[in-house]
Amino acid sequence: MTKVGVLASGRGSNLGALLEQQRLGALGGEVVVVLTNRPDAPVVEVASKYDVPLCTIADPRGQTDASVLLKGHGVELVVLAGYDRILASEFVREWEGRMINIHPSLLPAFGGGLHAVRDALAYGVKATGCTVHFVTEDVDAGPIISQAAVPVLPDDDEARLAKRIREKEHQLLPEAVRAYAEGRLTVVGRRVVIEGSA
Ligand code: GRF
């Protein structure tokens, strides 16, 4: 079982999706610790509901305590599931190839910011979606593992569109963790080859 550490700052719905798949025996990994920089965020309740240890990190960029905590729990894969801070270069380098992120747009469109859904709506795109990618020092620019498209509907507002994107995220992220845990991901330059996928 691949030991997974999750960094999250907000609602925690992606953490919930991971833990639900774990409960069903379908994650291929085990979430052993959740790290948050926001101890008041709803994600804290999600961790507690599933009895996963949660630690608040004092340094949200991961320069001091985050790696120590992750290593202390034996973490092999780090998942950024709605983590709202840019991590320090040293942290990213240390976990490179072993850290993935979920982003609410079809990268490289609308990367680099905190309002990808709002930005996609404002731009007037007809489709957006979500992306799971390896984390590199260039924000939202690492090799793409998987993407799912979501159409923008004429009466969409940010909340409605974000909700439909989240529903896709809840499938995409656990699938990516499972593929990683099963050793089916190979990075070849910018491309990620997923063994067993069409
Ligand atoms: C998701 O939309 C994810 O793509 C982005 O932050 C949001 C987190 O949502 N990085 P939640 O906290 O998992 O509900």
* Tens of pLDDT, residue by residue, the chain (198 residues): 999 999 999 999 999 999 999 999 999 999 999 999 999 999 999 999 999 999 999 999 988 899 999 999 999 999 999 999 999 999 999 999 999 999 999 999 999 989 999 999 999 999 999 999 999 999 999 999 999 999 999 999 999 999 999 999 999 999 999 999 999 999 999 999 999 876
Residue 130, strand partner residues:
148
**Pocket flag, ligand 1, residue 102 (CB < 6 Å):** yes
Q: CB neighbours (10 Å) of residue 189?
A: 6
Q: Is residue 60 in contact with ligand 1, taking CB distance under 6 Å?
A: no
**Three-class secondary structure of residue 59 per DSSP:** coil
Residue 63 confidence (pLDDT): 85
Count, in order, helices (H) and strands (E) of the chain: 6, 9
- Give the SS3 label for residue 131: strand
Q: Could you give the count of Cα atoms lying within 13 Å of 167 in the half-sphere of its Cβ?
A: 8
Please classify residue 51 by burial: count the beta carbons closer than 10 Å to its beta carbon, then call 0-12 exposed, 13-18 middle and 19+ buried. Answer: exposed
User: 18 CB less than 6 Å from ligand 1?
Assistant: no
Atom of ligand 1 nearest to the CA of 42: 12
Contact in structure between 97 and 116 (CB atoms under 8 Å): no
pLDDT on residue 110? 98
Instruction: Tell whether pTM > 0.95.
Output: yes
Instruction: Return the structure tokens found at 3.
Output: 């030991």
Mutate to test the pocket of ligand 1, among 6, 7, 9, 11 (most ligand atoms within 8 A of CB): 11
**CA dihedral (179, 182, 184, 190) positive or negative:** positive
Q: Is 121 in the pocket of ligand 1 (CB under 6 A)?
A: no
Kindly state the DSSP code that residue 96 receives in the 8-state scheme: T
The closest residue, in CA terms, to atom 6 on ligand 1 is 82
First CA to last CA distance, the chain: 25
Which positions are catalytic? 103
Q: What is the DSSP string of 74-101?
A: T-SEEEESS--SPPPHHHHHHHTTSEEE
Q: Ligand 1: which atom is nearest the Cα of residue 16?
A: 13
* pLDDT tens digits, one per residue of 165-192: 999 999 999 999 999 999 999 999 999 9
Locate 173 and state its tokens: 């992220």
Indicate which atom in ligand 1 lies nearest the CA of residue 162.
Answer: 2
Give the contacts of 86 (CB within 8 A, at least 6 positions apart). Answer: 61, 139
